[in-house]
Structure 1
Amino acid sequence: MNTIKLTMLEKISLILKMGIGSAISWELAILFGSKYPYLGPISLIICLQATLIQSIRFGIARIVGTIIGVSSVSILASSLHASGWSIMVIMLVSLIIPLILGANSIMLNQIALSVLLVLEFEHKLHGYGLDRIRDSIIGVAVALLLHILLYPPNLTKRAIAEVEAFPPILANKLKSLATWLETGASQKNYFNLEMDLLRKKMFEAEEKIKKAELSLKFNPLSKTSKPLLHERELLLNILNQVGNDIDVLFKIMNEWSKTGSLTKESMQAWIQIFTLLESALHNWNEGKAITAITFNAILANKKFHFPAMWHAQHIISTLKQHSRFHNFI
């Protein structure tokens, strides 16, 4: 599972939940007759993850793994002498059935941990196995309640901020194309590399939206956050279309320049087109209407002119079709 970087506020919230939750789960474990109340806080700390859905998964894995581990030791340990080999046999037997049934790595780890600790402590600490099951349930329950009620994890804002940064970047790419033509369309440039990095960032933003959607499961604040995420997902799809058009425009211009048929007049015409496209993208991002734009290009080479003109017009039609703020607010 990918690690999610937490903000300072989220880290402080997590620390407070660990401190408050440990105290509550300890006292509840004692209240319910536990001789080993530290097992409650241990389960709580393990269960407190970056998002609610992760916490639920860890909590289920902790409880089920503990039950299977305790049961396996109770059934098998009496017939085996304590040794490294007996630990191996009990652990393998305990893990094989959950593995066949599709248990994930988290649950398998919890089963193995329970087998090892219960096998070691059950004979030394009377009632350790049952206390481990009960206190694990207490710790997980407290962790989930705290996560839901006190500043529930929400990755929406960072996902939105990631997507909102792309329109100015794409506009800057159009400006770069105009500058590149002004300087003579040199073959030594970094445009492809920059577009590759941008596509990678846009893919990462898409993944962050998915993670943010997962963070909203069982989150009481999800009613307001879900529509915002859906809007930015649509926005990202539009920006991907614009980015693809910009990428193709560069490739066409680059190939055109290599043939030697890209005249100074054509360069000047396309510099103007890229400047108009840049302005249109800025206006669109600010919520302004995209007015009819006439591209005055010199028809010097049909092979390159028509495909380039199509992609330039496609950027405008994409922006017109999807009004930035009318559709997303």
Structure 2
Amino acid sequence: MNKIKLTMLEKIILILKMVIGSSISWELAILFGSKYPYLGPISLILCLQATLIKSIRFGIARIIGTMIGVASVFILAHSLHANSWSIAVIMMVSLVIPLILGANSTTLHQIALSVLLVLEFEHKLPGYGPDRIRDSIIGVAVALLLHIFFNPPNLTKRAIAEVEILPQILADKLKSLAMWLEAGASQKNYFNLDMNLLRKKMFEAETMIKKAELSLKFNPVSKKRKPLLHEGDFLLKTLNQVSIDIDLLFKIMDEWSKTGSLTKESMKAWTQNFFLLESLLRNWNEGKAITDVAFNETLSNEKFHFPAIWHAQHLISTLKQHPRI
């Protein structure tokens, strides 16, 4: 999945969380007896992820990885100094068991980092290992509390916005399909490329819906946002069905044209049908009721005409079954 791009406001809020959280975690680390209070803010800054669930997962991985890394150094190399061989051997031993137990990559990274730093600094900075564990817990805890109670991450509006633009794009595709027929159904067209771009946009919208669902986990305002997100997901499923019908209508027309049996009369009739479907889709998107439609009939080739009529009627049926409110 692509990384979530933050808006300017979200970046400002993130900065405030890092500033406020670093100050709080530093003071708490000192309060609990830490000699190296900078370890708290480091964990906090790393833990402030785009969503709450990501922050929680990273925080857990950070704490577990730190504990395993510190314990490994104390057990395996308490009297050793850092060098290439000691680092390699201890890091390998420390990582193998968590790997077998199914640890994720973030946890493995944190274990390796802790092994490296504790092995290097424990002899130079007495108490570094225990402080690293305690201060990591403090930093993670402060980060999660800030995320939960101070403008918690919420991707619902962004996800809904990506879905809301799709009906207009689908209507534009019906219009381009009508214009392609009106111009003589040339074999040189960009409809397949356009549909591929549309599928990409739909996939991105689906991905954003899933990210938004994750952003609502442990979110105190999630009850208000979940119905809106559910509506967006339902709309996306409806538009996927419409997209399939439009894609198949083009393939039918394209194949029909290649056989040489697509007459001017049929082109004119289906040009009007596609403009009609475009108008219905735009009206549906505006919340207007869908009425019964009488398509322009042409029986020059039943092999293609009847499947096309079926998909056109199915498109309308989909819109009728799922009206926009």
**TM interval, short-chain normalised:** over 0.9
After superposition, residues 288-327 of structure 1 pair within 5 angstroms as 288-325=288-325
The offset of 1:182, in angstroms, is 1.1
Corresponding residue for residue 123 of structure 1:
123
The offset of 1:259, in angstroms, is 1.8
Corresponding residue for residue 59 of structure 1:
59
C-alpha separation between the residues in 1 aligned to 2:2 and 2:302? 49
1:249 counterpart SS class? helix
The offset of 1:2, in angstroms, is 4.2
Corresponding residue for residue 277 of structure 1:
277
Confirm or deny that 1:215 pairs with 2:223. Answer: no
Corresponding residue for residue 99 of structure 1:
99
Corresponding residue for residue 185 of structure 1:
185
Percent of pairs with identical residues: 81
Q: Which residue type is aligned with residue 156 of structure 2?
A: T
Q: Which residue type is aligned with residue 151 of structure 1?
A: N
Cα pair 2:81 2:123 within 8 Å, conserved: no
Q: Which residue type is aligned with residue 179 of structure 2?
A: T
C-alpha separation between the residues in 2 aligned to 1:91 and 1:260? 70
Structure 2 CA distance for partners of 1:2 and 1:260, relative to 1, 3 Å: closer
C-alpha separation between the residues in 2 aligned to 1:82 and 1:229? 52
1:324 counterpart SS class? coil
The offset of 1:305, in angstroms, is 0.6
Corresponding residue for residue 196 of structure 1:
196
Cα pair 2:245 2:312 within 8 Å, conserved: yes
Structure 2 CA distance for partners of 1:69 and 1:229, relative to 1, 3 Å: same
Corresponding residue for residue 8 of structure 1:
8
The offset of 1:78, in angstroms, is 3.0
Q: Unpaired runs of 5+ in structure 2?
A: none
2:77 counterpart SS class? helix
1:74-119 residue CA offsets vs partner (Å, 9 max, x unmatched): 1111364542101111111111111111111111111111111111
The offset of 1:165, in angstroms, is 0.2
**TM-score using structure 1 length:** 0.97
1:124 counterpart SS class? coil
C-alpha separation between the residues in 2 aligned to 1:165 and 1:199? 13
C-alpha separation between the residues in 2 aligned to 1:317 and 1:125? 72
C-alpha separation between the residues in 2 aligned to 1:196 and 1:212? 24
Q: Unpaired runs of 5+ in structure 1?
A: none
C-alpha separation between the residues in 1 aligned to 2:2 and 2:72? 31
C-alpha separation between the residues in 2 aligned to 1:273 and 1:2? 39
Corresponding residue for residue 287 of structure 1:
287
Cα RMSD (Å): 1.1
Cα pair 2:39 2:136 within 8 Å, conserved: yes
